Structure 1
C-alpha cells in the first residue's frame, strides 16, 4: 500500500468515526417513537437494502425522521451529522437549498400543497440511519426536496458518498444588491468549457440542440446502458391517490416535454451509454482539461475536504481524465435551457437548468461502479461468508 493509499484510508476512517459519533449522539436523544422512524435495519438485511436504495429529489416522503418532528436540540444534532458528510461549502449549499423552500413557496403563490399542510416546507427533510453507528456495516441518508445525501460505512471506513443530489428552485433569486445562485459555479464552469470548444469539437460534444427537461439518470439506484430520462410520475414514493395531485404531476411532465420538444428519438440521443458518448477529454487542450478538472472538483468538493482532495488527486492523472467525456444539450446562452453531462468509468455528473423558464436547476454526482457502496458491500458479504 502506497503512502497516498495509507493517507486516504486514514482519512476515510476519521470521517467515518466523526459520522458515527454524531449519529450516536443524535440517536441517543430520540424517543422510542422517534427511533421507529429514524432507525432502519442494517444494510446487510435485504429488506433494509431495498429501502436504502430508494432515493428521491422531489417533495415526497424520503423516509426517516423529519426535522419538523424533532426538538430544536435534535435538529441541531441532525444537522451536525449532515455537516459531517459535507465540506464547509457543500454544507452551506445544502442549507441554502433547504431555505429556498421559503422562497419557492412565495414564487408559487403559497398555494402548492403536495398533499400536506405546507407543500414547500424547509422542515420536511428526513434523516434515517441503517444499522447502528459504529457497526461493521451501517449507513445513513438525508433528503428532502432537491437534496439527497447517501453514505455507507464498512469496517470503520466511509466507502461511498454517492448518489449526491443538490437542486435549486429558484436557481437564481434576487438579494438586496446581489443574486443568490447556489449552483451558479457548476453552471458557469460547464458553459465556459462548452463555449471554449471549436465548431468541430462542439458538434461531437453536442447531444442535442435542445435541452432534456431533467437529469437523465433520475433517481434510479443504479446506472445502466441506454437509460433515458425518467418522467415526473416515476420520481415519487408511490403514485398519488388524490386525482388533483395526479393531474398536477401529469401537467408538470406534459409542460416540461412540450418545452423541450422531445420525442422518443430525442430522448435516445441524450440517453446514458456505456462507454459514454460526447467529447473525450483526450480531445481537449491543456486549458480545457483544466476547466474540466475544476468542474469535476465542484462536484466532488461537496464531500468532506480530505475526501474531496483525494478525488482531485485521482483526476489530476492524465490517464484517468482521458477516460472522461463531456456532453452538452441546449443553448449556450445564460438564462436559456441547457443540460450537461460528465461521464467516466467511476463518474457520472449531470446538470440541467430547464424548468421554470430555466430557473430551476438539478445536479447530481454519482459513481456508476460504486453508488451506495454496492461494490464494497458485496465484497464484505463475500468475505463474511
Structure 2
C-alpha cells in the first residue's frame, strides 16, 4: 500500500493545480444561464475534433438519461484525454453551477479515487480507480431558446443541468458519493468529505423524543443503496417519516441546516430557486425519515422527502464507510417538466 501513497501527493497536486488555475481564471463565478452556456461553448471550442465528437450528442438522444454513479464505461469527453487548457475549461463549467463548497466536494471526490486505489492494493497500471476518469457530455447546442443540457459524471459524481427555454434550468439529478466515507489510513487518515451530511442528520436524530422516533424510524435495517438508484424518474411509493410541522422549533432549525447542506452545493441562484420551489410546496410538508442503526460505524440511511424534493443519503456498503447522496426534483429531473411545457406552447403556436 505504501508505494501508492508515495505518489498520492504528486497526483493530487496536479489535479488541484488544474482546478486552481481554472478558479483563478473565473474569479467572478457566473450565475446566469447565458454565462453558463458561454462557458460550455468555450469548453467545446478548445476541444479537438476527436474529443468534440465524443462530447456532443443531440438533445433528444437517450444518452442524456443514461446516468449512473458507479465505475463503468461512459460516453463523453474524458478528463484524462484532455490537455491542461482543456481541463481548465472543463472545470470552469462546474464553477458556473456549483458553490465553492460544491466545487470543493467535487474535486475532493475525484481525488479520493487515488486513496481508494491504494486502499484496495491495486497495481499502478490498474486504472479502475482513477481521478481523471470523469466525462463531460453536452446535449444540443449551448445557448439560445432551443433545449440543451450538459453532464459531468464518473465514479460517485453525476451532475446534470438542462436548459429548456433559455431562461429555466433543471439541476438534477445531482449525485455525490464518498468511498471511503472516512479515510482509514495513510497521509489523509480521518478525512471525511461528506461530514456535515452525517453529523447534522445525527444531531437531528438525537433531538427527537422516543415518541417522535416511532414516526422517524421507518425500518430497523437500512437499504443497501439509495432507493431510487439511477432511475430516470425518482418515485417513492409512500411518504414516510416525521413532517416538519410536527417538529419543535429547535428541530426545525436543525432540519433546515441539514437541508441547506445539500442546496448549498449549488450556486446561490440555483440554491435560491430550489428553496423557492420547496417553500411554494410548503415547508411543513417536508418529511425526515431514518432507517438502520443510530450507532456510528453501523449501516444507516435517511431521506428528506416533500412534494417536489427528494434527498437520499445511504451509508451501508464497505462496512458502513461508503456514502451515496442524491438530490432529485420530483417534478423536473432533466428538465422534463419545463420541456413538456415548452413543446406544448410550440404546439399551440405560442
- Shorter-chain TM range is 0.7 to 0.9
In structure 2, the partner of 1:138 is 148
SS in 1 for 2:153: strand
The 3 A distance-change label for structure 1 pair 22 and 329 is: same
Indicate the SS of the match to 2:143. coil
1:29 correspondence with 2:39: no
In structure 1, the residue corresponding to 2:190 is in which secondary structure?
Answer: strand
- How far did residue 178 of structure 1 move? 7.0
Shift of residue 307 of structure 1? 2.1
SS in 1 for 2:282: helix
* 1:308 paired to 2:320: no
RMSD over aligned Cα atoms: 2.0
- Give the Å deviation of 1:154: 2.2
Q: State yes or no: 1:69 paired with 2:81.
A: yes
Which string of whole-angstrom CA distances, capped at 9 and with x for unpartnered residues, describes residues 91-128 of structure 1?
10000000000000011111599xxx510011110000
DSSP-derived class of the 1:149 partner: strand
Q: Could you tell me how far apart the structure 2 residues matched to 1:327 and 1:273 are?
A: 14
2:5 counterpart residue number: none
Residue-pair matches, total = 316
Residue pair 1:102, 1:121 contacting (<8 A) in 2 also: yes
Looking at structure 1, the residues matched to 48 and 99 of structure 2 have their Cα atoms a distance apart, in angstroms, of 30
Deviations along 1:327-358, whole A, 9 cap, x unmatched? 10111122221100110011100001111111
Structure 1 unaligned blocks of 5 or more: 1-12, 225-271
What aligned pairs does 1:333-344 form with structure 2 within 5 A after superposition? 333-344=295-306
In 2, Cα distance between the equivalents of 1:17 and 1:364? 26
2:218 matched residue in structure 1:
207
Give yes or no for the alignment of 1:273 onto 2:253: no
Partners of 1:347 and 1:141 in 2: CA distance: 20
Tell me if the contact between 1:222 and 1:368 (Cα under 8 Å) persists in the aligned partners. yes
1:59: which partner in 2? 71
Query: Which residue of the other structure, out of 133, 142, 147, is the alignment partner of 2:157?
Result: 147
Aligned with 1:179 (options 180, 190, 195): 190
Q: Secondary structure at the match of 2:39?
A: helix
Superposed counterparts of 1:1-385, under 5 Å: 14-42=31-59, 45=60, 48=61, 50-111=62-123, 117-136=126-145, 137-173=147-183, 179-224=190-235, 272-274=236-238, 276-312=239-275, 320-385=282-347
CA–CA distance in structure 2, aligned partners of residues 277 and 82 of structure 1: 34
Deviation at 1:273, TM superposition (A): 2.3
CA contact (8 A) 1:338 1:354 kept: yes
**Matched-pair contact (CA < 8 Å) for 1:149–1:161:** yes
Contact persistence 1:169–1:359 (CA under 8 A): yes
TM-score (structure 2 length as normaliser): 0.86
Asked if the contact 1:293–1:315 (Cα under 8 Å) also holds between the matched residues in 2, the reply is no
Q: Which residues of structure 2 form unaligned runs of 5+?
A: 1-29
Residues 204 and 17 from structure 1, CA distance in 2 versus in 1: closer, same or farther, beyond 3 angstroms? Answer: same
- Superposed CA deviations along residues 138-163 of structure 1, whole A, max 9, x for unmatched, are 10000000000000112222421110
CA distance in 1, matches of 2:188, 2:69: 31
Shift of 1:311: 3.4
* CA distance 1:283–1:20, shift in 2 (3 Å): same
Q: Is the 8 A contact 1:15 1:158 kept in 2?
A: no
| CA apart distance, 1:31 | 1.9
